[in-house]
């Protein structure tokens, strides 16, 4: 036989299980931005203006990891055929460092991209992409092949 005290002990256990399940759901789904679409700014194929292109990017991790994922996707260029890259040629991500509210991003350019120019427009597209998809990332300082890009 069971005593009334045993029934109360069993019923009280649910008070811990339900909040634990709710906490696991919030931590598993609520804090992840993985399913959110981010805006990567690319050049419109007709006008050349910078326009947003939506991408699904997993923005989890530190601010530096998030920025590295976003900038890597930005450097890949447009996904849609109606858009064109801001700077044609091979662009590769170097280092990403966030210190005192400033995001330092290094990129490496291929020789054809280096000859074309357009670094100011590339930086502007990167700034727009970071501001729209990663608010609070700070001011961007861009380094191209190890040299700080000049401000326009």
95-147 tens-digit pLDDT: 999 999 999 999 998 875 665 668 889 999 999 999 999 998 999 999 999 98
Residue recorded with tokens 């909040």: 19
Could you give the 3-state DSSP secondary structure of residue 38? strand
Q: Summarize the confidence of residues 83-92 as an average pLDDT.
A: 86
Which is it for the CA torsion 19, 20, 22, 23, positive or negative? Answer: positive
pLDDT of residue 150: 81
Could you give the 3-state DSSP secondary structure of residue 35? coil
User: 13-27, 31-45, 63-77, 79-93: which has the highest mean pLDDT?
Assistant: 63-77
Contacts (Cβ under 8 Å, ≥6 apart) of 18: none
**pLDDT tens track for 32-67:** 444 578 999 999 988 989 999 999 999 999 999 999
pLDDT of residue 90: 85
Task: Tell me how far apart the alpha carbons of residues 111 and 106 are, in angstroms, rounded to a whole number.
Answer: 16
- In which band, very low, low, confident or very high, does the pLDDT at 87 lie, cut at 50, 70 and 90? confident
For 24-37, b where at least 16 C-beta lie within 10 A, e where not — what string? eeeeeeeeeeeeee
Task: Tell me how far apart the alpha carbons of residues 66 and 33 are, in angstroms, rounded to a whole number.
Answer: 10
């Amino acid at each position: 036989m069971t005593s009334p005290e045993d029934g109360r002990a069993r019923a009280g256990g649910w008070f811990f299980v339900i909040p634990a399940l709710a906490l696991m759901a919030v931590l598993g789904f609520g804090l992840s931005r993985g399913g959110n679409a981010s805006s990567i700014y690319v050049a419109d194929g007709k006008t050349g203006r910078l326009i947003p292109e939506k991408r699904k990017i997993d923005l989890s991790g530190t601010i530096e990891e998030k920025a590295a994922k976003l900038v890597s996707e930005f450097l890949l260029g447009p996904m849609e055929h109606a858009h064109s890259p801001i700077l044609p040629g091979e662009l590769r991500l170097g280092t990403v460092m966030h210190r005192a509210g400033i995001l330092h991003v290094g990129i490496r350019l291929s020789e054809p991209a280096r000859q074309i120019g357009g670094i100011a427009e590339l930086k502007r597209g990167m700034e727009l992409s970071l501001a729209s998809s990663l608010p609070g990332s700070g001011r961007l300082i861009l380094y191209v092949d190890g040299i700080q890009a000049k401000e326009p």
